[in-house]
Amino acid sequence: MLTEVIDGVYLGDLGDAKDDEQLSRRGIERVVSLTAPEQDSTTAYHPLTDGKNDQEEFDAAVDAAKEAIEAASDADEGVLVHCMVGRSRSPSILATALADLYDETFDDAMGRIHDTDRYVQPARPLVEHAREYLGEPSYAERRRDARDE
């Protein structure tokens, strides 16, 4: 289900990426696809799996999302970040991109996404990649710090 997270920035699934009428109606000209197969609407293609990609692949997908968001904003266009179902990969990439662009934590950016789509559930390995990208403490470091307090 297509969800507008912030003005002109959408989170969605494969069906949304295939719906040319909806993309046009919403002014979405840039589509970051994180799932196979690549769609005709795709402008940046970075297929990921939940937790089976390395940090470099994750980082490349975040960089592509950031570039698409910035370019869409400059051109007054919309951007869609999607995966197959829109519940784990695309929210993880989008939250990481937004956190980096707007100087937020991953949790703050993911909270913004949760406010618009309560069914989002990123896989832990993707969250760990996000924290690494943003230079935030890992899950293990956060547990250790909480235990030490």
Give the DSSP letter string of 36-67: SSPPTT-SEE----SS-S-HHHHHHHHHHHHH
Domains annotated on the chain, with CATH: 3-144 (3.90.190.10)
CA atoms within a 13 Å half-sphere pointing along the CA-CB vector of 123: 15
Amino acid 52: pLDDT: 80
The residue type found at 122 is P
| Cα–Cα distance measured from residue 37 to residue 55, given in angstroms and rounded to the nearest whole number | 22
CA atoms within a 13 Å half-sphere pointing along the CA-CB vector of 26: 25
Amino acid 147: pLDDT: 67
Picking from 81, 136, 88, the residue whose alpha carbon sits closest to that of residue 108 is 136
| Cα–Cα distance measured from residue 64 to residue 4, given in angstroms and rounded to the nearest whole number | 19
Amino acid 18: pLDDT: 94
Amino acid 142: pLDDT: 66
Per-residue pLDDT of the chain (149 residues; tens, 9 = 90+): 899 999 999 999 999 999 999 999 999 999 999 998 888 899 999 998 877 889 999 999 999 999 999 999 999 999 999 999 999 999 999 999 999 999 999 999 999 999 998 899 999 999 999 999 999 987 777 667 666 67
Q: Which residues sit opposite 6 in a β-bridge?
A: 9
